[in-house]
Amino acid sequence: MQQKIHIINKVSFSYYEVYTNAQRAFSGLGFPHGADEDAAYVITWLELHKLKGIDLFCSIIKKLNKQYDCKINLLDVDKKIDLLNKSILITGPSIIDYLVSKFILSNQDQYSLINYQDPIFFIPLLSKLIKKRIYTKIINKKETLCLINNENILINNSLFNNDMNDEIKIIFSNNPNNNEILDININLKDAKKNLSIGLNPDQKNWDKVSNLAFQTFVPESKESRSKGAGGGDAND
């Protein structure tokens, strides 16, 4: 008896397709312009490096919906910042910009963070600093959670835990960190390879993001056509 073989073809998407879909989805959740782009970059970076960015996004959609509020106190003299249980997708970009400015201007090289959510979302933001030759390390009292160097990023699986309650510390340096043995080792040179073969998010979660992104499209009408909507160009 001949056995039937079922072949499931995964659909691949370009980096730009994943980024654009995510950006529109964040816009649909109430993220303002600029913030939606930062959040989309984080999700797409994770997807590019096979860290399931789309899955992580879908796991917190309800928590993010119409909850955008990036206000936090950055004036604590004890170098301890309370993130008020807001997602790093919301607070992360401004936090990193602030800490980097302190490091560059006054050589303040470490800060503690408390009451944070989704700490894995720090990694793409911190990876941007490699171009400035700024390398970072995330630790808590017990262990190293992440090391970012010029060619690789090492991650402890516990950083994916949204329920982490420990205080974490981000440490900045102009010198690469000494490597340690952590759960995940990302070779940044693999990014070009991943780009060439495409990104393969989970189809069910990709559809969720696509449906959310679709809600941001302007329905075609006489009024919308007069304003240029519905044209389908690369900038809509």
Residue 234: pLDDT band with limits 50, 70, 90: very low
Given this model, what pLDDT does residue 224 score? 41
Cα angle at 225 between 219 and 230, to 5 degrees? 50
Strand ordering across the sheet containing 80-87: 80-87, 110-117, 168-173, 135-140, 144-148, 152-155, 184-187
Quick one: average pLDDT of 147-163? 90
Q: How many CB atoms lie within 10 A of CB 101?
A: 11
Tokens of 1: 């008896």
Average pLDDT, the chain: 86
Kindly list the distances between the CA atom of residue 81 and the CA atoms of 23, 126, 127, in Å, as whole numbers in the listed order.
Answer: 27, 17, 21
Tokens at residue 209, please? 């993001």
pLDDT(165) > 80: no
Quick one: pLDDT at residue 97? 94
List the one residue out of 180, 134, 136 whose CA is nearest residue 156: 180
Residues 26-36 have a mean pLDDT of: 94
pTM: predicted TM-score of the whole model, two decimal places: 0.85
Contacts (Cβ under 8 Å, ≥6 apart) of 138: 119, 122, 126, 144, 145, 146, 159, 168, 169, 170, 171
Q: Assess whether pLDDT exceeds 60 at residue 229.
A: no
Average confidence (pLDDT) over 11-18: 92
Percent residues over pLDDT 70 in the chain? 85
Residue 8 has pLDDT above 60, yes or no: no
Residue 4 pLDDT > 60: no
Q: By mean pLDDT, which of 116-120, 171-175, 228-232 is the weakest? A: 228-232
Q: In this predicted structure, what is the pLDDT of residue 74? A: 76
Query: Which stretch of DSSP H or E encloses residue 90?
Result: helix 88-106
- For the chain, give every domain's residue range: 17-193
What is the 3 state secondary structure string of 176-212?
CCCCCCCCEEEECCHHHHHHHHCECCCHHHHHHHHHH
H or E stretch covering 136: strand 135-140
Higher-confidence position of 79 and 127: 127
pLDDT at 225 over 50: no
Q: What are the tens digits of pLDDT across the range 201-221?
A: 999 999 999 999 998 765 544
DSSP characters for 155-183? E-GGGG-TT--S-EEEEEESSPPPP---S
Q: Check pLDDT > 80 for residue 1.
A: no
Least confident window among 67-76, 86-95, 109-118, 181-190: 67-76
- Residue 76's pLDDT band (cuts 50, 70, 90): low
3-class DSSP assignment, residue 223: helix
